[in-house]
Amino acid sequence: MEIVGAASKRGFGRPVEAPCLLDLSALSGVVGYEPEELILTASAGTPIAELERLVAQRQQHLAFEPADLGPLFGATAGRGTLGGILACNLSGPRRIQAGAARDHFLGVSAINGRGEPFKAGGKVVKNVTGYDLCKLLAGSHGTLAVMLEATMKVLPAPEDTRTLALRGLDDEAGIRAMTLALGSPNEVTGAAHLPRVATLLRLEGPRPSVAARVDSLRDLLRDQARTIDVLDRAASQALWRDIRDARILPGAPDGIVWRLSVPPATGATVVGAIARQVAAQWYYDWGGGLIWLTLPAGEDGGAGIVRAAAAAGGGHAVLLRAPDELRRRVPVFGEEDAVLAALGRRLKASFDPLGIFNPGRMWAGQ
Amino acid sequence: MRMPDPVRQTMEAAPRIVADLRRLVSGEAVIADSEARRVYESDGLTAYRAMPLAVVLPSTVEQVAAVLAYCHRNSVKVVPRGAGTSLSGGALPLADGIILGMAKFNRILDVDLDNRCVVAQPGVTNLAITEAVEDAGFYYAPDPSSQIACTIGGNVAENSGGVHCLKYGVTANNLLGLEAVLIDGGIIRVGGKQLDCAGYDLLGLLTGSEGLLGVVTEVTVRILRRPEMARAVLLGFAEVEAAGECVASIIAAGIIPGGMEMMDRAAIHAAEAFAGAGYPLDVEALLIVELDGPAAEVEHLIGGVVEIAKERGAVSVRTSADEAERLRFWAGRKSAFPAVGRISPDYYCMDGTIPRRKLPLVLARMREMSKLHGLAVANVFHAGDGNLHPLILYDANKPGELDAAEAFGADILKLCVEVGGVLTGEHGVGVEKRDLMPAMFTPVDLSQQQRVKCAFDPDSLLNPGKVFPELHRCAELGKMHIHRGQQRFPDLPRF
Ligand SMILES: Cc1cc2nc3c(=O)[nH]c(=O)nc-3n(C[C@H](O)[C@H](O)[C@H](O)COP(=O)(O)OP(=O)(O)OC[C@H]3O[C@@H](n4cnc5c(N)ncnc54)[C@H](O)[C@@H]3O)c2cc1C
C-alpha cells in the first residue's frame, strides 16, 4: 500500500508500486502541547501549518523550520502533515544551527508491517532508553512503519530577525563570506547564496542581541562585499520562507530538481563541476552545504554528472523532482554499496517483512 | 544480575581463540594474562565484575573487521569498550566473550575549520576534540562530566549528554558521520561532512545503540564557535517547588540557558563542604543558570532571569561578576559526585528523565522511598531538560545495603516512567536498567527493537545481555506473535 498524509509530496521518491492507498489525513489533531516542557504531541496527519499556528500563540516554533515542498510538486501550499515532514526528514535553513527534523523528533507510536502497534522514544526532551527508532523512521519515506502519532520538541521562537544581504559576490566569494560568518560567534541561523542576487545571513534572537550582531557581522564582512543591506523582520521572514520552500529556484516549473548535500565549503566547486557540463541553475542554503539545482530534462536527468560532482565533493544528491518515468529509472536516493544495501534490506524486513509499505519508494524492488 | 550463561565450548577453546586472534592483530595486542585482564573486569558501574575471555586491542579498521569476522565465524561474543566509564554496565565483560578495546584508535584525523567539523578515531577522548580546536576559538559542545576520560566512540554508543545539552544537543545532534564495522566484518560509512545523509538514518540508529549494533571506528563531529561570553546566576530557594517553577518560567519566557542545573539540600551541603563554592546553605534548592552567547544577548537575558527568579521567590540571587566567580559557581556542581563520595563510602548514581512539572512530586516520593529503604539520597538535576541524577548513599561493606540501593534505584526509575518520563536520559540502559525495560516498553515495542538488532547481528554476538531483558533467537522473533502481552516462549532464557 502507498501511505500518504496530505499527498503533497507524492512526487518525492521513486513512484510507489502499490494497488491501494492508505490515507492518513483524517488522523489529525493535537494530542498534547506543553509549552513549558517544550513538548508537542500530535497525530501524524495533522497539518504542519496548524501546529505552527498553535505553538506561535505561545511564542514557540518548530526550530528545524519545516519546509513546505508541496508547491514544488504542484500541490497547494500549506497542506503538508507532521507525518509527511518526518517521513521525508525535511528541514529548512535553520538546519545549520537548530538541527534537522529528526533532531526534534522525540517519540513515536506507529504500526509495523506485521500490523503490530509499537512505540519508541518518549515524551520528554532527553532520553536514551532503547534504540532511537524515531531517527530511523525519520527519512524512511514510509517504508518501515505507519506513523500514527509523534512527539516533537518545540523551542522559543526568536523575538526578532534581521538579514544581512551582501551584494555582488560570485559563488566562491559568497561561500567564503558565509564560512567566515558561520565560523564567528554571531550565531547565524540562516546562510544562503542566491547567485546574482545576494549572499544572505540571518540573525535571530532577542532584539538587543540581534542589533549588536548585525553590527558585528557587518564589521566582520566589510572587506568581503562593497554593499551590505540589512533586511527587516518582515522582509527577512518572507525571503527565508521562499528559500526554505525552494520557491526562488529559477528555471521551468517542470524542470528537473536536484537537492545536493555536501560539505559546505565545497559547494561552489561541486556546482562548478556540474555547470561546466550542463545548463544548470541553482542556489545554496546551509552555508553552501545544501544546493538546490535545476536542469532541463535530459536522458538521465543529469544523474551521472550531478552524482559524480556531489561524490567528488564528499556529499550526495537526491533527485527531488522529475517525471515518474525518470524517477523509476534513476535511483532517486543514489546507489548504496553492497554492505549498506544489504543492511537496508534487512532493516526493512525487520519492520515490514512482507514489503507492504510504500514498495519501491526508496529503492527499486524494495 | 543474571548474564547469559557462558558457553562451555567457548570457555574451553580459550587458548585456541587467543592464538587465532594473535594472528589477526599483533601478539601484544591480545591480552590473555589474568592479571592484565583484570583491568577490564568492570566499567563505571563497579558493583558488577566479570573476567573477559581475552582483551583485544586492534589498531586499524581492517583488524577490527578481521577480529569481528573471526568472532562471527566462531560464535565468540564481543563487548566493545572505550574508556570504560559507562555508568550502566555497558562495557561489562562476558566470561565467554572478548573485550574489543578501542584505546589504540587515539588519533584526530582531520580538523576542518571551514566545514566546522573534526574527524577522529573513536578512542580519542571527548575533551581532546575540544582541545584540538580551541586555539581557533571552537569547541565540541556535548560535555559529559567524564569528558577528560570518556571516548568519543563511547559517547556515540551511549548518546551521551552534558550540562549544555538543552541548548546545544546531545551526541546525536552533533554527529555528522561515522564508520562502523558490523559483526560479520562488513564496513559501513554513513554521513560525512555534510548535514544530511541519504537512505535510512543509520547515523541516528547507531548513536545510543550501546555497542549492540556495530563497532564505531571513526566519527565526524560538528564543532561550534565558542560563545563570546558566558555568565552564571546562582539562585537559592526555600522550597523545591519554587525552584521548579522558576525553571518553567524561564523557559516559558523564551529563554534557553546554556546550562540550568539544580541541587537539593543534601547535594548543596556535600558540594559546599567539598569545593567551598560559596553556596548558600540555608536553602532547599539551588539553581545554577548559565547564559552564553553574544555579549549583548547574555547581558540582556541575565536581567530577565534575575527578575523571574525574584518573582518566583528566590531567597538568594548572585550573578557571577567575572570568569573566576562563574567557574566557582560550577566547581560545586561539577564535583557533586566526588563530594557525595566523601560523605558516603559508596553511592549509586541514577539517571531518569521526568516531565519537569513533576519534580516536586518525584522529590517528595523519593523522600518517602528513602525512609522505606533506609538510605539517604542527594539530588543533582539537569533541570532544563528534566534529567534527574539522584545519588543513593550506601555502604557496600554493610550486608544488604547494595541490594537496598539497587531496589531504591529501581523504584526511582519506575517512578520516572510512571509520571510520564523515561528510564535513562543519558547513561544508557546497559545491564543496569535492562530488567526495567518492560516498565516502559510493551513486549511488542521490545520485539520491534530486537528485530532491528537481528538485522545487524542475527546471532546476538555483539554485547549480548545488555539493554534487552530477554534473549530471543532471531529466527523465533521473526515469527513471534505476542498475544495480549503474554509471553510465547516461557522456556527461553530470561535474565
Ligand atoms: C564520573 C562520571 C561522570 C559522568 N558524567 C556523564 C555525563 O555528564 N553525561 C553522560 O552522558 N554520561 C556521563 N557519564 C557516563 C559515561 O562517561 C558515558 O556514557 C561515556 O560516553 C562512556 O564512554 P566510554 O568511552 O567510557 O565508553 P565505555 O564505558 O567503554 O563503553 C560504553 C558503551 O559503549 C560501547 N562502546 C564503547 N566504544 C565503542 C565503539 N567504538 N563502538 C561501539 N560501541 C562502543 C560499549 O560496549 C558500552 O556499551 C559519566 C561517567 C562517570 C564515571
ipTM of the complex: 0.97
Chain B residues within an 8 Å CB radius of A36: 248-249, 251-252, 356-357
Chain B residues within an 8 Å CB radius of A138: 201, 204
Question: Hey, what long-range contacts does A57-60 have (CB within 8 A, 24 or more apart)?
Answer: A58/A33, A58/B252, A59/A156, A59/A157, A59/A159, A59/B254, A60/A35, A60/A154, A60/A155, A60/A156, A60/A157, A60/B254
Average pLDDT over residues A31-57: 97
The nearest alpha carbon in chain B to A87 belongs to B200
Average pLDDT over residues B162-190: 96
B215 CB under 6 A from ligand 1?
yes
- Under the banding of pLDDT at 50, 70 and 90, the label for residue B486 is low
What are the beta bridge partners of residue A112? A145
Q: What is the dihedral of CA B465, B469, B470, B472, to 10 degrees?
A: -70
Mean pLDDT of chain A: 96
Domain ranges of chain A: 2-156, 160-244, 256-329
Convert the pLDDT of each residue in B120-157 to its tens digit: 999 999 999 999 999 999 999 999 999 999 999 999 99
State the pLDDT at residue A211. Answer: 97
Classify domain A256-329 by CATH architecture. 2-Layer Sandwich (3.30)
Ligand 1 atom nearest to CA at B217: 41
Q: How close, in Å, is residue B382 to chain A by CA atoms?
A: 10
Q: Does B439 touch chain A (CB under 8 A)?
A: no
Q: Roughly how many angstroms between the first and final C-alpha of chain A, as a whole number? A: 13
A112-141 residues touching B, CB cutoff 8 A:
112, 116-120, 122-136, 138-140
* Percent of chain A's residues with pLDDT above 90: 95
Report whether pLDDT(B2) > 90.
no
Report whether pLDDT(B475) > 90.
no
Q: Are A110 and A145 in contact (CB under 8 A)?
A: yes
Convert the pLDDT of each residue in A152-181 to its tens digit: 999 999 999 999 999 999 999 999 999 999
Q: Roughly how many angstroms between the first and final C-alpha of chain B, as a whole number? A: 8
State the pLDDT at residue B375. Answer: 97
Convert the pLDDT of each residue in B200-245 to its tens digit: 999 999 999 999 999 999 999 999 999 999 999 999 999 998 999 9
B267-306 residues touching A, CB cutoff 8 A:
293-297, 299-301
Convert the pLDDT of each residue in A217-238 to its tens digit: 999 999 999 999 999 999 999 9
Which CATH number describes the domain made up of A2-156?
A: 3.30.465.10
Among protein residues, the one with the nearest Cα to ligand 1's atom 16 is B86
Identical fold at A160-244 and A256-329? yes
State the pLDDT at residue B171. Answer: 98
State the pLDDT at residue B491. Answer: 53
Report whether pLDDT(B476) > 90.
no
State the pLDDT at residue A27. Answer: 97
* Total residue count of chain B as it appears in this document: 495
Residues B205, A135: C-beta atoms closer than 8 Å? yes
Q: Which three cell numbers stand for residue B135?
A: 586555539
Residues A118, B444: C-beta atoms closer than 8 Å? yes
Report whether pLDDT(A342) > 90.
yes
B82 CB under 6 A from ligand 1?
yes
B157 CB under 6 A from ligand 1?
yes
Report whether pLDDT(B494) > 50.
no
Among protein residues, the one with the nearest Cα to ligand 1's atom 35 is B211
Report whether pLDDT(B27) > 50.
yes
CB atoms within 10 A of CB A151: 23
Classify domain A160-244 by CATH architecture. 2-Layer Sandwich (3.30)
Indicate the pairing of strand B377-382 with strand B259-264: antiparallel
CA distance B465 to B468: 7
The nearest alpha carbon in chain A to B244 belongs to A36
CA distance B337 to B340: 5
Chain B residues within an 8 Å CB radius of A343: 182, 186, 188, 202, 455-456
Mean pLDDT of chain B: 94
Residues B294, A132: C-beta atoms closer than 8 Å? no
B212 CB under 6 A from ligand 1?
no
* Percent of chain B's residues with pLDDT above 90: 89
Q: Does B429 touch chain A (CB under 8 A)?
A: yes
Convert the pLDDT of each residue in A112-126 to its tens digit: 999 999 999 999 999
Q: Are A271 and A305 in contact (CB under 8 A)?
A: no
